Amino acid sequence: MKFIFYTHSLVSDWNHGNAHFLRGVMRDLQRRGHETLALEPAGAWSRTNLVKDQGPGAIERFHEAFPQHRSESYDQAFDHESALADADVVIVHEWTEPGLVERIGRIRRNGAAFTLLFHDTHHRAVSAEGDIASLMLNDYDGVLAFGETLRERYLRAGWGKSVFTWHEAADDALFRPLPDIEKAGDLIWIGNWGDDERSAEISEFLVRPAGNLGLRTTVRGVRYPGHALDELRNGGIAYGGWIANADAPSAFARNKVTVHIPRRPYVEHLPGIPTIRVFEALACGIPLISAPWEDAEHLFAPGRDYLLAGNGEAMEKSLRDVLFDADLAASLAASGLATIKARHTCRHRVDELLTILASCGTSKVAASLQPREAAE
pLDDT digit string, tens, across residues 37-56: 999 999 999 999 999 999 99
Give the span between the Cα atoms of 241 and 232, in whole angstroms: 12
Average pLDDT of the segment spanning 304-328: 98
Residue 115's contacts (CB-CB under 8 Å, 6 or more residues apart) are 88, 89, 90, 141, 142, 357, 360, 361, 362, 364, 365
pLDDT band at 360 (very low <50, low <70, confident <90, very high): very high
Query: What CA–CA distances, in Å, run from 86 to 77, 97, 115, 269?
Result: 19, 22, 12, 39
pTM of the prediction? 0.95
Of all residues in the chain, what percent carry a pLDDT higher than 90? 87
Closest alpha carbon to 197 in 11, 14, 15: 15
Say if CB 209 and CB 312 are below 8 A apart. Answer: yes
pLDDT at 94: 94
Query: How confident is the prediction for the chain on average, in pLDDT?
Result: 94
142, β-bridge pairs: 117
Q: Is the pLDDT of residue 308 over 70?
A: yes
Average pLDDT of the segment spanning 133-147: 94
Q: Is the pLDDT of residue 9 over 70?
A: yes
Average pLDDT of the segment spanning 180-209: 93
